Structure 1
Amino acid sequence: MRFLTITLIAHAPDPVTGVRKSTQQRFREVIDHALLAEELGFDGFGVGERHERPFISSAPPVVLSHIAALTRHIRLFTAVTTLSLLDPVRAYEDYATLDHLSGGRLELIIGKGNGAAQRELFQVTPEDQWDRNAESYELFRTIWRQDKVTYAPRFRAPLTEAEVWPRPLQQPVRVWHGSATSRESVDLAARYGDPLFSANVTNPVAPYAELVRHYRERWAHYGHDPALAAVGAGTAGYYAARTSQQALAVYRPIFEGRLAFQKRLGLEPVFLTLEDFVERSSALIGSPQQVIEKVHRYHEQLGHSVLHLHADGDGLTDAQHRDSLELFQSDIAPVLRRDIPDPPWPWGPATPLDGTAPLDGTAPAAPADAAPAPTAAAR
């Protein structure tokens, strides 16, 4: 199993202290958390993309490029790239550039995004958002693979023998499809033989497990080898301590602060008590053994081989946040890595910008996208 830490770069008051950091402080915190993830041995670091309050993650290629310059091994994820809102040609240019600057460490998680404010900002409607997402992805992946592209889309100007530069380093980049509530994203992933990343954060596991089962059914329907299907999954929160009592005591004011914030926003919380949150959500709160057992229970439902934790402390002190992540790597990750298989492709080290030798001295990484090409029916 592989492990990421991910941030959506929410810019909101601390759920315990009520203090909101400045925008610059918040970005500095994101960079520090990326460096911490690499230091502690996490496999990836992800940055979300949102175009509405309270998030300031509107430019993930910029943030990830800065992180790429400061790190050497950790893979860099988007979580998610909102292709339904973007010009796929411009998105390709940004991410092909980032692919080179990172030495081929880029992985994309794409999705349509959600939220009325950002749809209005980009003049996308609920009726056309899925069609935009599918069309943008088809054009994006075509540009990544072909030096010249002729394409007649619905939602942007046509391309005729168009050349888009720079050409990417990875041939091709691996693209995951973010899945939260709908079958459209699941079917798109299965159609193209791409891995799926389940949000798995808002509700109990049942609806997410249903979508994953549908993904595997559609994967087989499109003619792909079932052994090559891969799933990642999120978590609703993480804090581990040596005992469950310690973990609950530290996390209780964080949960209560979040609950109060949701109510102020007029949202209807799914979990009304910390005990219910720990029991029925995907949150990993407790002792190392409790966390291990819960990941196994979720793996039985989802069959996932990649797991993400929140990169942000979000109510924890810096010391509590670091101690908990260190405990994950020392006591939890080794067991899960032993018990749960990796995705069905080489994770591989990054390559340096000059392409002469891998950064860590090992053999060069295999191409990032080991999933099969779509069948004729899928095209």
Structure 2
Amino acid sequence: MIVAVPKEIKTREYRVGMTPAGVRALTEDGHSILIEIGAGIGSGIADEEYRRAGALLTETAEELYARGEMIVKVKEPLPEEYPRLRPGSILFTYLHLAPAPELTAALLQRQVTGVAYETVERADGTLPLLLPMSEVAGRMAVQVGAHYLQKENGGKGVLLAGAPGVRPGRVAILGAGTVGSNALRIAVGMGADVTILDIDPARLAALDEHYGNRIHTLISNSQNIEDEALRADLLIGAVLVAGARAPMLVSREMVGAMSAGSVIVDVAVDQGGCVATTRPTTHDDPVYSVDGVLHYGVANMPGAVSRTSTYALTNATLPYVRKIAASGLAAATAADEALRRGVNTHKGTLCSATVARALGLGWRPYETT
């Protein structure tokens, strides 16, 4: 199979879809690997490293998309990339289609088989290709929030660790999954007063057992969310419904009642966000204010720590890339139920029930035969 890796064009997206080690493994498997010139520069990977691993370097994205049978990316295609999508090709990347009707329509119209990292789901509910970036985003969320709480950055001038005789900053984390638990780890390490909310009592019990009286745990309901949002210096949105639009947990009125200079970091922004006032931003212009509350809505947070993120992501994606390249998508998905769940579009048909519900479209399960 011809596997092609383009350069990402999203604003300040420095990650790349494959490392030289991945190129070498696929080359040893007997496949051809195309890498767009400069694709790895943002992650500290030189073109020559790819060449030594066996890749063929292409001058233009147009050439790469035209030749590639499977396109391996990090982020969803942007509108300027839509014309490059070739009917019958496989696009393996983060797609996040539930809040993206235009991208969904483009994939369906161009009859691209879209396999979304974020919906590859094992029988136990784990999301192996979302996990590494969720870990990174969760850890970054507290770091970013602490930065914007500083007065010169627009915040209220709160140090999360506090000081002798001064209470620490208050952090509220909505969701105790991978993002939330990683945010919790960093917030506790920084000495903050942390409350984490989730709908799963067992998950909260596990965190309580691990951290003891260093944290507060609460069942997630509208009353508890409102109470914690109003007292928080830093509010982190960390909820996820696999493949679907994020549930709206924090209303416009709640945001208006938060104290000026508070910070919201909504990691769920790439799935529509869990805060009513959240909208996507970029690394070039990451924050905006609503009623004096700073909002950070960068949808590709891990791109800021690109080298760590690239290697963490491709460690997880490469085994699936090798499966698809070795036997084709139909055989690979027939043998791997988790990978089959990742197929969102195929031959002009929407194959994800959660995306269909979010966008009000019809759908049909992907057939491997």
- Structure 1-normalised TM-score? 0.29
Higher alpha-carbon Rg = 2
